[in-house]
């Protein structure tokens, strides 16, 4: 899954793809690099970020969705706002990626009304407050339990199981130790939630903590994190650097296949 951020303030690429032409060129480049899904977002969810009004998100998203209609890969829209979900689905989005796991009033019904897929992500609190001393008794159990309850809620609302993926939400109300534990917990999350697992570690501060490198210099760490996620059961990795991640996954998969894994 290749990331397209239509934001002025995303933590790694804020402001680079705000213009319609830049965004479209970037989206097409990610498809050429081998992205299987594009994830388009118009609201940063970095720690401390404030919500972006629905009309502003729509003004950023809808022209790109229109320009991308007919693209060979499915388009996911990253939003927790029901009004934006509805507009994105009407404009042809194939997936809603919700860092709030469809917890906003009306979100379950909005997605259930169509055929689109959904990513249900775990977050502790909200982006404004989530990194204020996050604590868990057992982070993997608690995240698995939460995701399982959201999968149950989605199914009860009428969203079929084969439309649902789950995501432990690396960096969303977690310390480095929590993030590392969750990066290696894909197999368990998949088994306990009964849904494929999506993992987004690309360029995140956990990688800065592990390597000492600034956000613009985390390519190697991001690729390693993607391989680690897939090796531990992730079905989808959400990344900014599609070409490098694809190359690394091809090599890993060849060896993994030879080894009979």
Task: Provide the binding-site residues for ligand HH2, judged by CB under 6 A.
Answer: 3, 5, 7, 10-12, 41, 44-46, 78, 97, 99, 119, 121, 167, 169-170, 198, 200, 238
Q: How far is the CB of 7 from ligand HH2 (least distance, A)?
A: 5
Phi first, then psi, for residue 159 (nearest 5°) are: -90, 115
Query: d(Cα 102, Cα 11) in Å, to the nearest integer?
Result: 23
Q: How far is the CB of 202 from ligand HH2 (least distance, A)?
A: 7
Helix-helix angle 54-67:20-33, to 10 degrees: 60
Of the pair 167, 192, the CB lying nearest ligand HH2 is at 167
DSSP 14-53: TTTT-SHHHHHHHHHHHHHHT-SSEEEESS--STTPPP--
Q: How far is the CB of 165 from ligand HH2 (least distance, A)?
A: 8
Q: Identify whether 204 is a catalytic site residue.
A: yes
Q: How far is the CB of 246 from ligand HH2 (least distance, A)?
A: 18
Q: Identify whether 174 is a catalytic site residue.
A: no
Of the pair 78, 192, the CB lying nearest ligand HH2 is at 78
The residue annotated as part of the active site, out of 60, 150, 238, 246, is: 238
The residue annotated as part of the active site, out of 60, 204, 218, 246, is: 204
Query: d(Cα 76, Cα 54) in Å, to the nearest integer?
Result: 17
Q: Side-chain half-sphere of 245: how many Cα atoms within 13 Å?
A: 31
Catalytic machinery residues: 204, 238
């Amino acid at each position: 899954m290749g990331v397209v951020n239509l934001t002025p303030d995303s933590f790694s690429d804020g402001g680079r793809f705000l213009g319609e032409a830049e965004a479209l060129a970037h989206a097409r480049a990610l498809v050429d690099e081998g992205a299987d899904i594009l994830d388009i977002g118009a609201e940063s969810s970095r720690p401390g970020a404030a919500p972006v009004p629905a009309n502003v998100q729509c003004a950023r998203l809808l022209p790109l969705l229109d320009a991308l209609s007919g693209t060979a890969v499915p388009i996911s829209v990253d939003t927790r706002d029901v009004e934006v979900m509805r507009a994105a689905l009407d404009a042809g989005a194939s997936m809603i990626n919700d860092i709030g796991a469809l917890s906003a009033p009306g979100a379950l019904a909005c997605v259930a009304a169509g055929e689109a897929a959904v990513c249900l992500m775990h977050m502790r609190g909200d982006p404004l407050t989530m990194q204020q001393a996050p604590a868990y008794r057992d982070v993997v159990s608690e995240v698995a339990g939460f995701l399982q309850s959201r999968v149950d809620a989605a199914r009860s609302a009428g969203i079929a199981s084969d439309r649902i993926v789950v995501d432990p939400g690396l960096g969303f109300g977690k310390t480095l130790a929590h993030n590392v534990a969750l990066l290696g917990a894909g197999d368990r999350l998949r088994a306990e939630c009964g849904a494929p697992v999506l993992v987004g570690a690309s360029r995140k501060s956990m990688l800065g903590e592990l390597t000492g490198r600034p956000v613009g210099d985390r390519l190697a760490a991001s690729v390693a994190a993607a391989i680690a996620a897939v090796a531990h059961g992730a079905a989808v990795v959400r990344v900014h650097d599609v070409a490098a991640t694809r190359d690394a996954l091809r090599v890993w998969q060849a060896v993994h296949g030879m080894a009979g894994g």
